[in-house]
Amino acid sequence: MANKPIVDFEALKNNLSNVSKPIQVLNEKAEITDQEVFDSFSDDDLVEFMKKMVWERALHEQTMNFSRQGRMGFYAPTEGEEASEMGTVLAMKKNDYLLPAYRDVPQLIQHGATVTQAYLWSRGHVAGNKFEARSMMPQIIIGAAYDEAAGVAMGLKKNGEDAIAFTYTGDGGTSQGDSYEGMNFAGAFKVPALFIVQNNGFAISTPRAKQTSAPTLAQKAVAAGIPSIQVDGMDILACYAVAKAAREYITAGNGPVMIETLTYRFGAHSSAGDDPKRYRTKAEEQPWFDKDPLIRLRKVLEDKGLWSEEQEDKLVDEYKASFKEAIKEADAVPEDKVSDMLKRTFEIPTPEMKKEIAKFEAKESK
Amino acid sequence: MAYKFKLPELGEGMAEGEIASWLVKEGDTVKEDDSLVEIQNDKSVEELPSPVAGTVKQIVAQEGDTVEIGDTLIVIDDGSPDTGDDDQPAKDDKEAEKSDSDKTTESASKEEATAGPATGSADAHYLAMPSVRQYARDKGVDLAKVTPSGKHGQITKADVDSFDGSAAPQAATQSAAPAAPASTNTITPYKSATPELETREKMSMTRKAIAKAMLNSKHTAPHVTSFDDVEVSALMANRKKYKAIAADKGIHLTFLPYIVKALVAVMKEYPELNASIDDSTEEIVYKHYYNVGIATNTEHGLYVPNVKNVDSKGMFEIAKEITENSQAAYDNKLSMDKMSGGSITISNVGSIGGGWFTPVINYPEVAILGVGKIAKEPYVDEDGNIQVGNMLKLSLSYDHRLIDGALAQNALNLLKKLLHDPDMLLMEG
């Protein structure tokens, strides 16, 4: 018998890297790499995409200022992830159910919450959890929204709704058991769920390469029997087109889909004070800054004569003025009280809680 | 009439920050979201934007000041109607609460900031940890003139150390005076709920020096202490035999000279115990002399005079010198020479009934032997019989940077051998 090993594990491992190229419509030089998809968008569509990204960038900048002025609670910066976030959420319908994580506040607002509610949520105010949108409040537990999405999608299926549950996590979230459990459940029950991984390169300070040996994060869906694909997360046209196609596939009764968007967090993980300079270099950052999703679409629009700097500046001013109004509205909402928080915990308070409620009410009435 | 901008919480667990630089000055007109100030906390430098538009009325916290969350940084006249601002009295209360020493600090640091362009010019932009900034201020070094060597252009403590002061002599002299009170800034005061049940007294110079030396030793040398005991009946018999002879010569013979002699033999076998580490050059300095210190407790503090060149001295001579040194310590007549250049130190608590303990190394020495009492305890002798043994308790603390655990134990084993059999001491000592 020949000395051939029964299994060539090395070859199996190498095979894992045989993945298709990330989907792209516009490259970073603003060259069209998929004419057919590009042509499916009208000029108005393109301008609308640009406006949404400018809005999200302005929201980030103003919110960051509010944070530095001590007017916010927790805030997770979104600069750099505009294409990934706006592209995917714009492909959804209003009756779809959003399960956001903490960096997905722009999508939540896009889906129907107000900026004021988002600011109240950041401050931990209960009024920030009440919105018209079909959505949960942003999930703080990493990866947990994937489990929620599986459950909500199960409900949508049982109710026979023509809607999907869509959810987000980051590259770090895919290292959590929750994300696999959610996908596995969704795959097993063929529920209408769209799982989006915004791979922004870092789980706070841990680079993507140190989190997993998997060549792509999209592959993590394979074990759950879910089709998945990588998308250029700095290309809003690609993000939108893929999310839209995924939604169509899901609503046709085919079960869940997973999308990995390749994006980058331009700033810190959160306003809680991490300094990106400590875990990445300028040389690593610059190529990603050059891929800024706003730059490439702006160039396309300017070439078409659909966009100008003045137009953008004016929009930014308008948007920022609206955010300043929103925070004033949030300031005007009476502060949450401990007694109210306790009263909300159980429908019928326990005897201990009754005592606590009485204690805090006495304090608060002083 | 004015908006008070207070330091917000810029990071989880952040309690304070340092004013790295002001980007506006009094009288400037600012728009909403204009950058006002750079704040350095332990994690990063943050630019804080103005929440209001108006004119800068007063810059309250100065560059270099450490400010707590909620402290007013700047007052901006934003033309808002006076709503009977309740901050004003609150601030005054806080001011009044501050102790006199705080006020000195405050005025001192203000003087420093206004002393001129030599210290902290308005456009100074540099990265340094608050601890390094503090260190630089204490040394009177202007960070703006220091060449950074750390990651991302951070100024490190070593950069401050290697800074050539001659380049900016004014900076050094100018801030020399305020530096002393400024250094008390970060020290947490001892607060008590029942001060009436406590009394306070100033630490004496000696007590301060002891505290400093102990802190330095513990901070610099990673201490490990090995405990052991040894049966010393033979040693006791020997001492008993010669005690009277010594007394005839006016010499008080204790166990200490024996231990000193034994230590010489141990140090000869294990020269690492008779060494120091030069941190500046990362070299081990081996000493070719044997000066054994004896920790001496007196009314006015702890002293460690050493007996010089014990390797060339006889037992009686060592005993005599120990007594003389100890008397000089009691009389406060020890010369510096007697207290420096030691090889190793003995700390004896056995004479007052102590057992094992963890002595602190007399830095820059690398080892200290703690000597406890001789206790009567069951002891299994060489022949396997249980005897009433006279067990001497030994505790050897050593600087683990230089001395490994096995080496220390081997050294202890030799010491035990010599103390168990004083005839060996005659051979080796």
Dihedral of alpha carbons B414, B417, B422, B423, sign = negative
Nearest CA in chain B to A73: B9
DSSP state letter for A199: E
- Asked if the structure places residue B199 within a domain, the reply is no
pLDDT for B85 equals: 46
Report the distance separating Cα B290 and Cα A129, nearest Å.
76
Helices A82-90 & A293-303 angle (0-180, nearest 10): 70
Which tops the pLDDT comparison, B213 or B396? Answer: B396
* Least confident range of A264-268, B352-356, B408-412, B424-428: B424-428
- Asked if the structure places residue B142 within a domain, the reply is yes
Contacts of B46 in chain A (CB under 8 A): 68
Over 80: is that where the pLDDT of A46 sits? Answer: yes
- Asked if the structure places residue B200 within a domain, the reply is no
Q: Which residues of B are the active-site residues?
A: 400
CB B124, CB B194: distance < 8 Å = no
Q: Do A273 and B7 touch (CB under 8 A)?
A: no
Give the percent of chain A with pLDDT over 70.
99
**CB-closest option in A62, A68, A274 to B43:** A274
**CB-closest option in A65, A277, A324 to B49:** A65
Report the distance separating Cα B359 and Cα B339, nearest Å.
18
Query: What are the start-end ranges of the H helices in chain A?
Result: 9-15, 35-39, 43-68, 82-90, 105-111, 115-122, 144-158, 177-189, 208-211, 236-249, 282-290, 293-303, 309-332, 338-345, 351-364
pTM for the model: 0.58
* Domain edge (last residue) among B49, B71, B97: B97
CATH class given for the domain over A18-334 = alpha beta
* Domain edge (last residue) among B97, B132, B159: B97
pLDDT confidence tier of residue B170, bands split at 50, 70 and 90: very low
Number of structural domains, chain B?
Answer: 3
CB A178, CB A143: distance < 8 Å = yes
Contacts 24+ apart (CB under 8 A), A278-281: A278/A205, A278/B151, A278/B152, A279/A202, A279/A205, A279/A207, A280/A202, A280/A207
Q: Do A70 and B11 touch (CB under 8 A)?
A: no
Task: Provide the token pair at A187.
Answer: 């795959």
ipTM for the complex shown: 0.72
Q: Do A71 and B43 touch (CB under 8 A)?
A: no
The reply to whether omega before A227 is within 30° of 0 (cis) is no
Torsional class of B402: left (φ above 0), alpha (ψ -120 to 50), beta (otherwise): alpha
Please tell me the total number of residues recorded for chain B in this structure.
429
Sequence-distant (6+) residues with CB within 8 A of A317 are none
- What are the residues of chain A with a beta carbon less than 8 Å away from any beta carbon of chain B? 62, 65, 67-71, 268, 271-275, 277-278, 324
Q: Do A68 and B41 touch (CB under 8 A)?
A: no
pLDDT for B303 equals: 87
Interface test with A, best of B5, B44, B74, B78 (most A CBs within 10 A): B44
Contacts of B128 in chain A (CB under 8 A): none
Taking 3-state DSSP, the helix, strand and coil percentages for chain B, each rounded to the nearest 5, stand at: 40, 25, 35
The string of pLDDT tens digits covering residues A140-157 is: 999 999 999 999 999 999
Neighbours of B165 (CB within 10 A): 13
Residue B120 and residue B184 in one domain: yes
Sequence-distant (6+) residues with CB within 8 A of A232 are A22, A23, A24, A25, A27, A238, A239, A261, A262
How many Å lie between the alpha carbon of A68 and the closest alpha carbon of chain B? 5
Mean pLDDT of A250-259: 97
- The CA-atom distances, in angstroms, between A69 and each of A64, B23, B52, B228 are 9, 15, 10, 61
Residue B315 and residue B391 in one domain: yes
CB A78, CB A114: distance < 8 Å = no
Contacts of B33 in chain A (CB under 8 A): 62, 65
Mean pLDDT of A178-196: 98
Over 50: is that where the pLDDT of B123 sits? Answer: no
Report the distance separating Cα B237 and Cα A115, nearest Å.
90
Which SS3 state, helix, strand or coil, does residue A207 take?
strand
Q: Do B44 and A69 touch (CB under 8 A)?
A: no
- What are the residues of chain B with a beta carbon less than 8 Å away from any beta carbon of chain A? 5-12, 14, 32-33, 41, 43-44, 46-51, 151-152
- Asked if the structure places residue B102 within a domain, the reply is no
pLDDT for A35 equals: 97
Nearest CA in chain A to B50: A69
Q: Which domain holds residue B343?
A: 207-428
Residue B357, domain CATH: 3.30.559.10
Q: Quote the mean pLDDT of chain A.
A: 95
Contacts of B151 in chain A (CB under 8 A): 277-278
Burial pattern A279-304, b for ≥16 Cβ within 10 A else e, equals ebeeeebeebeebbbbebbbbbbeee
Phi and psi, residue B236, nearest 5°: -65, -40
- Of all helices (H) and strands (E), which one includes residue B258? helix B256-269
Residue B144, domain CATH: 4.10.320.10
Closest CA to A226 of A251, A202, A250, A261: A250
Which SS3 state, helix, strand or coil, does residue B245 take?
helix
Residue B263 and residue B399 in one domain: yes
Look-up: residue for tokens 């430098």?
Answer: B45
Q: Do B48 and A274 touch (CB under 8 A)?
A: no
Look-up: residue for tokens 């603003």?
Answer: A30
Which tops the pLDDT comparison, B62 or B97? Answer: B62
The string of pLDDT tens digits covering residues A335-344 is: 889 999 999 9
pLDDT confidence tier of residue B108, bands split at 50, 70 and 90: very low
Sequence-distant (6+) residues with CB within 8 A of A168 are A85, A88, A99, A100, A101, A103, A104, A107, A145, A196, A197, A198
Look-up: residue for tokens 């330091």?
Answer: B7
CB B320, CB B371: distance < 8 Å = no
Task: Provide the token pair at A60.
Answer: 């980030």
Residue B82 and residue B216 in one domain: no
- Of all helices (H) and strands (E), which one includes residue A229? strand A228-232
Contacts of A272 in chain B (CB under 8 A): 11-12
- Asked if the structure places residue B340 within a domain, the reply is yes
Amino acid identity for residue B408 in this structure: A
Residue B87 and residue B115 in one domain: no
Residue B268 and residue B330 in one domain: yes
Contacts of B52 in chain A (CB under 8 A): none
For CATH 3.40.50.970, the residue range(s) in chain A are: 18-334
Report the distance separating Cα B66 and Cα B39, nearest Å.
9
Closest CA to A330 of A126, A104, A192, A29: A126
